[in-house]
Chains A and B, each alone.
Chain A
Amino acid sequence: MDFKLKSQIMDAAGIKRALSRLASQIVENNVGTADLLLLGVRRRGVPLAERIADRIAELEGHRPPTGQLDITLYRDDLSTVGPSPVVNRTDIPVDVTDCIIVLVDDVLYTGRTVRAALDELIDFGRPRRVELAVLIDRGHRELPIQADYVGKVLQTTDDEIVKVMLEDYDEEEKVVVVERE
């Protein structure tokens, strides 16, 4: 599939600034790092959660634990996405019960991924509170879900695709809006 670049939203420095802001908002809102657990939603939520945790460590002198959620098994569109998607491990290092969990993902769109992540999380125990942090909120929600911490809100059309590119997976570090050719 070929894509046409429409616009660049963030560069590497912009991503860094946005994550720093998210980190300080999280600690401010939760009055510190006690009971905090950051869970990245696979794939790009995972490095974002790690980076936010690093920033929190710089701010507070204590790094909250991090983990990762693979929501494949909780998707509601399995029979239409085929050929079979790849299932990866979910890795939650501590008991979630009574934790304050911050789910981290790159883009908030229909809300279905977050729904699946919440369902999965509940199967691991009963957290005190679950919050959501995203780098981009591009609108077009299909479920009543909203983020607690947003790096940037974008107005998009349905044909557009928001691509968050991170060094961990991609060659460069930026956020762009593209369109299918």
Chain B
Amino acid sequence: MAFNRKDLLGTRELTVEEIKTILDTAESFKEVSTRSIKKVPTLRGKTIINFFFEPSTRTRTSFEIAAKRLSADAVNISASGSSVTKGESLIDTARNLQAMAPDAIVIRHRSPGVPHQLAKMVEASIINGGDGAHEHPTQALLDAFTIRERKGELAGLQVAIIGDIMHSRVARSNAHLLTKLGAHVRVAGPRTLVPPQFDKIVGESEGSITVCNRIEEALEGSDVVMMLRIQRERMSDAFFPSLKEYSIHYGLTLERLALASPECIVMHPGPVNRGVEISSEVVDSARSLVLDQVTNGVAVRMAILFLLAGREID
């Protein structure tokens, strides 16, 4: 039961034991969220800054609720753009944050690596709330938690991740995490949006990654299907011609879902583009765990805040 990290930067560096600790701890925290008083005094007096350089109501709110249920003081800071447009260098941002003496900083930024860079500059625990197309570890952990809740065990499961793999931090964090837990990940989407070397991004692990040429190939017999949100702006960068064509060729419909295993569950990190990457019938079906993911997100983030705040102080 070891968890003695200063920061949570990605799933890439987590050990299987650490992942299990987080998921087990999250189970206990899920119970707290069912009480009539959904609040425990655990992190009383601790300050957590949610520093979001990119708009994200969903993730920010989830972290805010998690912090408040642990009695921590959560402060939200929003900024937009990069250090260059802001005119404040990253090191100055770091120094300013440090001066506020927070215990943890949740950071969301459009540039990959910013949480890693800040972690070297500040004493507070840094939690990566999504850095560009790089990592989104808390999302992957809540996804794994949700799968584990339904399937019991991740080892041996076939998980299809479908859509804009190239720009997806959710796909990357899940690729690391799920394969560490022994699941087999298949990725698919328009060829313009699936990096051919995606199967080589993870190190030695129990599970494997396969890059599929067609989404039907990825869906065939899958136990879990994760659909990724498609961004409109990818059209203007000539990645695909239109949302209509995207939904016809790469969208998840009940018909396509029939290729998956009969017990297949469907997930989506949200917000969902109904009728584009996923049809309404699928989102609203009993197989869809989209709302479970949101509920579990709070429990997983509580566990992470608790584990980081409970680390050994030297």
Do A and B pair up? The answer is yes
Q: B-contacting residues of A (Cβ < 8 Å)?
A: 70, 72-75, 78-91, 119-120, 123-125
Beyond A74-B40, A74-B41, A123-B40, 9 additional pairs, beta carbon < 8 A: A73-B306, A74-B42, A78-B310, A83-B2, A83-B310, A86-B1, A86-B25, A89-B31, A123-B35
B42 nearest CB neighbor, chain A only: A73
Q: Is the CB of B28 within 8 A of A89?
A: yes
How far does the Cβ of A88 sit from chain B's closest Cβ, in whole Å?
A: 6
Q: In the assembled complex, how far is the CB of residue A66 from the closest CB belonging to chain B, in whole angstroms?
A: 17
B37 and A124: CB pair below 8 A?
yes
Contact B40 A83 (CB under 8 A): no
Q: How far is the CB of B6 from chain A (nearest CB, A)?
A: 12
Q: How far is the CB of B22 from chain A (nearest CB, A)?
A: 10
Contact of B37 with A89 in the complex, beta carbons under 8 Å: no
B 6-40 contacts with A by CB, 8 A: 21, 24-25, 27-29, 31-32, 35-37, 39-40
Flag if A90 contacts B311 (CB, 8 Å).
Answer: no
A73-B42, A119-B41, A124-B35 are known contacts. Are A85 and B28 too (CB-CB below 8 A)? Answer: no
Query: A123–B39 Cα gap in the complex (Å)?
Result: 8
Interface size on B, residues (CB 8 A): 28
Number of A-B residue pairs, CB cutoff 8 Å, is: 67
Nearest B residue (CB) for A81: B310
CB distance from A162 to the nearest CB of B (A): 24
A84/B31 in contact, CB under 8 A: no
Q: Could you tell me if B41 and A79 are in contact, using CB atoms closer than 8 angstroms?
A: no
| B40 adjacent to A70 (CB under 8 Å) | no
Known contacts A73-B32, A87-B28; A78 and B42 CB within 8 A of each other:
yes
Q: Does B202 contact A (CB under 8 A)?
A: no
Can you spell out 8 A-B residue pairs with CB atoms less than 8 angstroms apart?
Answer: A70-B28, A79-B310, A81-B310, A82-B312, A83-B3, A85-B310, A86-B1, A89-B31
A84 and B310: CB pair below 8 A? yes
Which residue of chain B has the shortest Cβ distance to A91 in the bound complex? B31
Asked if residues A84 and B3 are in contact (CB atoms below 8 Å), the reply is: yes
Distance in Å from the Cβ of A177 to the closest Cβ of chain B? 28
Q: In the complex the two chains form, what is the Cα distance from A80 to B288 in whole Å?
A: 42
How many angstroms between the C-alpha atoms of A30 and B309 in the bound complex? 42
User: A86: nearest residue on chain B (CB-CB)?
Assistant: B1
The answer to whether B3 and A79 have CB atoms under 8 Å apart is no
Please give, as numbers and ranges, the residues of chain B lying within 8 Å of A79 by CB-CB distance.
309-310, 313
Interface positions, chain B 32-84, Cβ under 8 Å from A, are 32, 35-37, 39-42, 70
In the complex, residue of chain B having the shortest beta-carbon distance to the beta carbon of A70: B28
B307 in the interface, Cβ–Cβ < 8 Å?
yes
3 nearest CB pairs, A to B: A84-B310, A82-B312, A73-B40
Q: Look across to chain B and name the residue whose beta carbon is closest to the beta carbon of A80.
A: B313
A87 neighbours in B (Cβ, 8 Å)? 25, 28-29, 303, 306
Contact partner, B31, options A78, A83, A86, A90, Cβ 8 Å: A90
Rounded to whole Å, the gap between the CB of B296 and the closest CB of chain A is 15
